[in-house]
Amino acid sequence: MMGGSIAPFVSAPAFGKRDAKVLNRYQHGTTYSVSGSYIRYTLREGLMNVLYKSVLLVILVAPGALAQSAEASPRAYDVYSAFLRSQLAGHNGIDDLRVGEHAAVLAPVTTTFNATSSPQWDLVKSQCKGLRRSTFEAFQQCKADSLSLSHSFNIETPYEVASREDISSVKSFITQYPENHCVIHFSCVGFNPDEAQAFFVVERSMCHSGVQKYVLMEKDASANWILKSEAVGWIQ
């Protein structure tokens, strides 16, 4: 999703002594193995990625866009909440998307896609087994909708929904949330006609371990949403 490179003369924000301990989490290279590929993060690469994502976040949550955003629906919150609960009960791996203490905070508005950036059917259906075409088409219909998010998630763990000011820059983010790591962004949710299946995209940014996931949820016999499958779209 990043693509290309950032000019070398772009500099990181100036941090005071108060932020030195927090900034330390960006200062060490980390190597991960994903599908047989090794991704190396250096200080420069990590900071540049963080800065680039910060610019995207400022655009995404511009005051005008946020003011005009409708609230996500109760059924969407049900799906988001079930997904977050599944992550809290997971294996705590590199690509888990966890909220709570020392974990991620939630973005105040959904991420959007256009024809170029949107996930494609052929790719997604091969990674999310059982995904129905009608579910994906519903996602395609809402993918450009920017929806506001509030403290309406049903999870037991205390969590934070950031304001646009909180994520206007890396410095603002780590000053406001010195013990938290990353921001989680949800897309809209596409539902099949009988609302027994749901599909959405979720991303983690504002940190050195960004990831995008395609998420397929289904209702069980008790009409509770459960995680059916998740696939990595990209990882940084």
- List Cβ<8 Å contacts ≥24 apart for 155-160: 155/81, 155/84, 155/85, 155/88, 155/99, 156/85, 157/88, 157/99, 157/100, 157/101, 158/100, 158/101, 159/84, 159/99, 159/100, 159/105, 159/106, 160/99, 160/105, 160/106
Domain residue limits, the chain: 17-235
Q: Which of the residue ranges 21-25, 72-76, 179-183, 206-210 has the most confident prediction, judged by mean pLDDT?
A: 72-76
Query: 40-95, pLDDT tens digit by residue?
Result: 333 344 444 444 444 444 444 444 444 457 999 999 999 999 999 999 986 655 56
Query: 27-37, pLDDT tens digit by residue?
Result: 333 333 333 33
Tell me the C-alpha distance between 99 and 107, whole Å: 11
Q: What pairing do the DSSP bridges indicate for beta strands 70-71 and 225-235?
A: unpaired
Query: 10-31, pLDDT tens digit by residue?
Result: 333 444 544 444 444 443 333 3
Rg of the chain in Å (alpha carbons) = 18
186, pLDDT greater than 60: yes
